Structure 1
Amino acid sequence: MTEDRGAAGPYIEYDGLPVLHGSEVKLPLIHPYAPVEAGRYITPAGGRLTIRKSERNSAHLRITLDHLGCPAQSTPDKDAAFRRLALATEGYCVHAGCRHRPAFSDGVMRCFEVRTGSIPLATFVRAVLAVELGDLTPAGRLVEEAEARFGPVRPAEKLDGEDQAAAGQDR
Structure 2
Amino acid sequence: MSTEHRGAAGPYIEYDGLPVLHATEVKLPLIHPYAPVTPGRYVTPGGGRLTIRTPEKPAHIRITLDHLGCPAQLTEEKNDAFKRLALAAEGHCVHAGCRHVPAYGGGVLRSFEVRNGSITLTAFVRAALAVELGDFGPADRLLQESEALAGPVRREGEEDQASDG
TM-score w.r.t. the length of structure 1 is: 0.88
Q: Is the 8 A contact 1:69 1:107 kept in 2?
A: no
Q: Is the 8 A contact 1:63 1:111 kept in 2?
A: yes
Q: Is the 8 A contact 1:18 1:46 kept in 2?
A: yes
- The letter of the residue matching 2:146 is A
C-alpha spacing 1:9/1:62, structure 2 compared with 1 (3 Å): same
Query: Which residue is equivalent to 1:146?
Result: 146
**Corresponding position: 1:32 with 2:53:** no
**Corresponding position: 1:106 with 2:106:** yes
User: 2:7 & 2:97 partners in 1: Cα distance?
Assistant: 45
What aligned pairs does 1:22-171 form with structure 2 within 5 A after superposition? 22-55=23-56, 57-68=57-68, 70-154=70-154, 158=158
Residues 86-124 of structure 1: CA distance to partner in whole angstroms, max 9, x if unpaired? Answer: 111111101112111321111110000000111010000
TM-score w.r.t. the length of structure 2 is: 0.91
User: 1:90 & 1:73 partners in 2: Cα distance?
Assistant: 22
Residues 63-93 of structure 1: CA distance to partner in whole angstroms, max 9, x if unpaired? Answer: 0000115221111111111111111111110
Paired residue secondary structure (2:35): coil
Number of corresponding residues: 160
Task: Determine what percentage of the aligned residue pairs are the same residue.
Answer: 71
User: 1:156 & 1:69 partners in 2: Cα distance?
Assistant: 33
Paired residue secondary structure (1:118): coil
Highest relative contact order (Cα 8 Å, sep 6+), 1 or 2? 1
Give the root-mean-square deviation of aligned CA atoms.
Answer: 1.9
C-alpha spacing 1:69/1:2, structure 2 compared with 1 (3 Å): closer
Query: Which residue is equivalent to 1:3?
Result: 4
Q: Is the 8 A contact 1:90 1:101 kept in 2?
A: no
C-alpha spacing 1:155/1:75, structure 2 compared with 1 (3 Å): farther
Which consecutive residues of structure 2, in runs of 5 or more, have no partner in the other structure? none
Q: Is the 8 A contact 1:103 1:113 kept in 2?
A: yes
Q: Is the 8 A contact 2:20 2:69 kept in 1?
A: no
Shift of 1:146: 0.6
